[in-house]
């Protein structure tokens, strides 16, 4: 068994920021495009309406980009908080214990005399 005793705050914050930003961009852009499709479906599409919808499509992309930046910043802050909280709690309760198994199905354990880098060499 390997135990996770500490999480690097910056590492978790960076991963959380990337995931939050990606989800924020995709979700916001999807919702905005869906609203444009509904608007185009409800009204008769003429040349003025087509220009209006294309302009809004460009604005929707910028709004989705802004949402991704904001969501990424929030994700980064939350990643720092979660890693700090985990590191605080793990001192009293112990870390998360995991068992790693390689492709052949043999459990991977680290002996004290082995170096950490040699554990994952094949």
Cβ atoms of 110 and 119 within 8 Å: the answer is yes
54/31: higher pLDDT: 31
pTM over 0.85: no
Report whether pLDDT(7) > 80: yes
Report whether pLDDT(69) > 90: yes
> Which DSSP symbol is given to 105?
S
Report whether pLDDT(108) > 70: no
Q: What is the structure's pLDDT at 122?
A: 45
Question: How does pLDDT run across 82-97, given as a tens digit for each residue?
Answer: 999 999 999 888 888 8
Segment 57-72 mean pLDDT? 90
23/112: higher pLDDT: 23
Task: Classify each residue of 17-32 as buried b or exposed e, where b means 16 or more C-beta atoms within 10 Å of its C-beta.
Answer: beebbeebbeebbeeb
Segment 30-59 mean pLDDT? 76
Domain locations in the chain as residue ranges: 2-96
Q: What is the structure's pLDDT at 119?
A: 53
18/44: higher pLDDT: 18
Report whether pLDDT(30) > 50: yes
The three-state secondary structure class of 100 is strand
How deeply is 74 buried, as exposed, middle or buried, from its count of CB atoms within 10 A (0-12, 13-18, 19+)?
Answer: middle
Cβ atoms of 61 and 29 within 8 Å: the answer is yes
Strands 107-108 and 2-4: unpaired
**Token representation of residue 74:** 């929030």
Q: What is the structure's pLDDT at 4?
A: 86
How deeply is 3 buried, as exposed, middle or buried, from its count of CB atoms within 10 A (0-12, 13-18, 19+)?
Answer: exposed
């Amino acid at each position: 068994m390997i135990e996770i005793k500490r999480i690097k705050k910056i590492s978790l914050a960076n991963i959380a920021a990337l995931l939050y930003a990606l989800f924020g961009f995709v979700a916001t852009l999807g919702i905005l495009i869906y609203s444009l499709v509904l608007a185009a479906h409800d009204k008769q599409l003429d040349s003025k309406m087509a220009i209006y919808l294309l302009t809004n499509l460009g604005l929707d992309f910028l709004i989705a980009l802004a949402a991704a930046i904001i969501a990424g910043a929030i994700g980064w802050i939350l990643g720092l908080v979660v890693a700090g909280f985990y590191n605080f709690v793990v001192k009293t309760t112990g870390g998360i214990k995991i068992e790693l198994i390689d492709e052949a199905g043999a459990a991977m354990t680290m002996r004290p005399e082995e170096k950490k880098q040699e554990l994952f060499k094949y």
